[in-house]
Amino acid sequence: MKSVEQKRINIMGRKLLLEKQQVEGIRHYDVYRREGGYRSVEKALKMQPNDIVEEVKKSGLRGRGGAGFPTGLKWSFLAKPDGVPRYLVCNADESEPGTFKDRYLMEFIPHILIEGMIVASYALGSNVSYIYIRGEYDWITDILDQAIVEAKENGWLGKNIQGSGFDCEMYVHRGAGAYICGEETALLESLEGKRGNPRIKPPFPAIKGLWGCPTVVNNVETLAAVVPIINEGAEEYAKIGVGKSTGTKLISACGNINKPGIYEIDMTISVEEFIYSDEYCGGIPNGKKLKACIPGGSSVPILPANLLLTTAKGEKRLMNYESLSDGGFASGSMMGSGGFIVLDEDQCIVRHTYTLARFYRHESCGQCSPCREGTGWMEKILLSIEKGKGKLSDIDLLWDIQRKIEGNTICPLGDAAAWPVAAAIRHFRDEFEWHVNNPEKCLTENFGLRHYADAIHVPV
């Protein structure tokens, strides 16, 4: 079997989704089509819908919205009762702090999403498909609407697409700007015109989704990835990446790095290379040291630099699903939605954790007591520690509250609120204690790296 290093020789830098990003006018239909756009629809319409589902299964594509659930498998769960419509819904809510990759795709290459959605709609038998987009992406809604008009004018949407007998309409629906509406069942409620409260599962959307009908909800990047899978074939797609992390992944990188932005990676590169090489983040500004990183969007556990660059087993950590979660939550994290947030030595972990807690308290829909009450308590306790007014017992109290939220709520927002607090205490407890023990100093000084400095490898 080829090693990761050998595999990289041929495919490093390979772009599948952003390949044409530099082509002028790629946002518009004529240029997109001239560059090979909509080929996957031509190919798919000659295939049996089930064969497309099998192809996506074979590709190993995992959902890019956060959970990493295998896409082909999800599609195969879709119920098909006679006489009942099925729906495909694209989740373009993208509200997770640190995640801004879907926005880039939709803004600059909107037709790749529409193309992927037509193929998916055909595979799933959905004649009406929706893009649910976060309210703040107002200008992107216009871009998508325009792209849908162009696709329709050119026979890729509407009745009898390209003479195939398959009909498909597509609509963009703007949310009102609530993070919870990214959770798939809250999204469906909102799309139905109700308040975006998550539903109790089961039943899952594949059985009872939009208006009670079988529905598949997929992320923007997931649906765009269907295009290269059909164009190149599942086997070719699966050759890119490593293990169960096949294909390419978009990473939105931000925080204390020289080159924030969107990068398409092949999931064989190391975290160290991603942060320090000029091809990607270009290192930390002003010669500062790396303190910590949230590798997959604000919900996933923060890692101190030593555990970020190397797993607890002493292996180089790679930018893929398996490696980022190696060690479980004790010493690992998650790929999540690919929102990569870097913190340098000047950042305060207590303040940072407070900021996140505030966000989750604000976004809780309030249906479950552990989430509704617990997020508010955590926010208040963290603010008091941050302001030098905390007690040592508050740290244990925080730990206790987050444990009582995790796993005890209707939807995973509760977990998403609990995990950042748990990971901060797990890895940076001494920084919390320092705040409590130095109430005056913590208002004017930064804990910095302290003992983490020894363990952190800083490439020269």
The footprint of ligand SF4 on residues 24-53 (CB under 6 A) is none
* By the rule CB under 6 A, 217 interacts with ligand FMN: yes
The footprint of ligand FMN on residues 351-380 (CB under 6 A) is none
Q: Rounded to the nearest whole angstrom, what is the least distance from the CB of residue 403 to ligand SF4 in the complex?
A: 15
Choose among ligand FMN, ligand SF4, none what residue 177 binds, the Cβ cut-off being 5 to 8 Å by kind.
Answer: none
Of residues 147, 411, 424, 456, which one binds ligand SF4 by CB under 6 A? 411
51: Cβ contacts below 8 Å, ≥ 6 apart: none
Q: Rounded to the nearest whole angstrom, what is the least distance from the CB of residue 44 to ligand FMN in the complex?
A: 18
The footprint of ligand FMN on residues 257-276 (CB under 6 A) is none
Place of tokens 């594509």: 61
* By the rule CB under 6 A, 413 interacts with ligand SF4: yes
Q: Rounded to the nearest whole angstrom, what is the least distance from the CB of residue 358 to ligand SF4 in the complex?
A: 15
- Residue 66: how many CA atoms within 13 Å on its side-chain side? 22
Of residues 40, 59, 91, 311, which one binds ligand FMN by CB under 6 A? 91
- Identity of the residue, 125 or 412, whose beta carbon is nearer to ligand SF4 in the bound complex: 412
Choose among ligand FMN, ligand SF4, none what residue 91 binds, the Cβ cut-off being 5 to 8 Å by kind.
Answer: ligand FMN
Place of tokens 């560059």: 35
SS3 (DSSP) at 190: helix
Segment interacting with ligand SF4, rule: CB under 6 A, options 148-156, 225-233, 358-366, 420-428: 358-366
Q: Angle at the Cα of 372 (from 370 to 374), degrees rounded to 5?
A: 55
* By the rule CB under 6 A, 180 interacts with ligand SF4: yes
209: Cβ contacts below 8 Å, ≥ 6 apart: 87, 89, 188, 215, 216, 217
* By the rule CB under 6 A, 103 interacts with ligand FMN: no
CA–CA dist 163, 166 (Å, integer) = 8
Phi, psi of 126 (to 5 degrees): -100, 120
* By the rule CB under 6 A, 93 interacts with ligand FMN: yes
Which element (helix H / strand E) includes 170? strand 169-174
167: number of Cβ within 10 Å: 13
Q: Is residue 337 within 8 Å of 296, Cβ to Cβ?
A: yes
CA–CA dist 214, 87 (Å, integer) = 6
Of the candidates 458, 454, 434, the one whose C-alpha atom is nearest the C-alpha of residue 446 is 434
SS3 (DSSP) at 89: strand
- Identity of the residue, 140 or 411, whose beta carbon is nearer to ligand SF4 in the bound complex: 411
Of residues 32, 44, 45, 63, which one binds ligand FMN by CB under 6 A? 63
CA–CA dist 153, 114 (Å, integer) = 14
**Per-residue binding letters, 403-422, with ligand FMN (x by CB under 6 A):** --------xxx--x------
153: number of Cβ within 10 Å: 11
Choose among ligand FMN, ligand SF4, none what residue 371 binds, the Cβ cut-off being 5 to 8 Å by kind.
Answer: ligand SF4
**Helix-strand-coil split of the chain, %, nearest 5:** 45, 15, 40
Q: Rounded to the nearest whole angstrom, what is the least distance from the CB of residue 367 to ligand SF4 in the complex?
A: 4
**Per-residue binding letters, 430-459, with ligand FMN (x by CB under 6 A):** ------------------------------
26: Cβ contacts below 8 Å, ≥ 6 apart: 20, 32, 35, 108, 109
- Identity of the residue, 224 or 368, whose beta carbon is nearer to ligand SF4 in the bound complex: 368
Choose among ligand SF4, ligand FMN, none what residue 409 binds, the Cβ cut-off being 5 to 8 Å by kind.
Answer: ligand SF4
Of the candidates 324, 319, 314, the one whose C-alpha atom is nearest the C-alpha of residue 268 is 319
CA–CA dist 319, 74 (Å, integer) = 24
- Identity of the residue, 156 or 359, whose beta carbon is nearer to ligand FMN in the bound complex: 359
- Identity of the residue, 281 or 356, whose beta carbon is nearer to ligand SF4 in the bound complex: 356
- Identity of the residue, 367 or 384, whose beta carbon is nearer to ligand SF4 in the bound complex: 367
Of residues 310, 323, 353, 364, which one binds ligand SF4 by CB under 6 A? 364
Residues that bind ligand FMN (CB under 6 A): 63-67, 69, 74, 91, 93-96, 179-180, 182-184, 217-219, 222, 411-413, 416
Residues that bind ligand SF4 (CB under 6 A): 180, 198, 364-368, 371-372, 409-411, 413-414
